[in-house]
Amino acid sequence: MLRFDVLTLFAGYFEPLRTQGICRRAFDSGVVQLHTWNPRDYASGAHRSVDDRPYGGGPGMVMLAEPLLGALHAARAARAAAGAATAPVLLFSPAGRVLRQPEVRELAESSGAVLVCGRYEGVDQRFIDLHVDDEVSLGDFVLSGGEIPAMALIDAVARLQPGVLGDELSAQQDSFSDGLLDCPHYTRPPRFQERDVPETLMSGDHARIARWRRDRMLELSWRRRPELVLELERERRLDRDDLRLLDTLRANGSRGGEA
């Protein structure tokens, strides 16, 4: 069972995952479970405060450790009662490592995770030090909270579950599935605003089509994310034809093979 327990002040963010698109299939089939836990339910005091001013001064507020810990204990107890395995605690933070497809695939094969959605200026560092296993980021930008990154992670993991996608090959052909960006795609009509579908894709020659797609993946990755290609080169995961095209791309600077 793949189960996500989300610590969030705004559980409503996650309802569309249960009712819309591909993710809905994962939840309807029971392949993926999602439970939310509001730290405010575990806060003390008449106002059930979940944040306070930072020590040392400065703008904004900081999430209190105690309500988060109460929510975490409740999530872990519920997981145990349901027979779910112990799961890592992930905090979404600009300081975290950038999430990549290999980590998504690894999580998709696990029992899930406890996801902590921070808000305000951040989370009391003591909670992070004592109870968070890893910090995760979607990139070098700042959001209002961790809910959107958590939704993105759940979506990325859910679509890799068996039976969720209409065609299991779809996940294998996604960007980053083999370390590169995906190739361009075309559909009907064969001509649109004076632009034709590449002849190779209409040839019926499956080997030629496969090579065309691989070349376009390399070319697009080299132009937009060259570090992806260099990583595959270092790991010796490029074949002879890949290396031949890469030599051409290097020789032509920012321009690669003909699309």
Q: Which pLDDT score is estimated for 178? A: 82
> Are residues 45 and 132 located together in one domain of the fold?
yes
> Are residues 138 and 61 located together in one domain of the fold?
yes
Domain that holds residue 245: 173-251
Stated pTM of the model: 0.87
> Are residues 45 and 77 located together in one domain of the fold?
yes
Q: Which pLDDT score is estimated for 259? A: 37
> Are residues 74 and 144 located together in one domain of the fold?
yes
> Are residues 108 and 200 located together in one domain of the fold?
no
Which of 127, 158, 189 represents a domain boundary (last residue)? 158
As for how many domains the chain has, the answer is 2
Which of 132, 158, 184 represents a domain boundary (last residue)? 158
DSSP one-letter string for the chain: -EEEEEE-S-GGGGHHHHHSHHHHHHHHTTSEEEEEE-GGGG--TTTT--EEPPTT--SS-EE-HHHHHHHHHHHHHHHHHTTPPP--EEEEEEEEEEP-HHHHHHHHTSSEEEEE--BTT-B-HHHHHHH-SEEEESSSS--SBSHHHHHHHHHHHHTTSTTTSSSTHHHHTSTTTTSSPPPP---S-SEETTEEPPGGGGS--HHHHHHHHHHHHHHHHHHH-HHHHHHHHHTT---HHHHHHHHHHHHTTT--S--
> Are residues 11 and 133 located together in one domain of the fold?
yes
Q: Which pLDDT score is estimated for 102? A: 93
Residues of the chain short of pLDDT 50, as ranges, are 255-259
Judge whether 164 lies within some domain: no
What are the catalytic residues?
94, 121, 159, 174
List, for residues 46-105, the tens digit of each pLDDT value. 899 999 999 999 999 999 999 999 999 999 999 999 999 999 999 999 999 999 999 999
Judge whether 79 lies within some domain: yes
CATH code where residue 117 lies: 3.40.1280.10
Q: Which pLDDT score is estimated for 87? A: 97
> Are residues 75 and 194 located together in one domain of the fold?
no
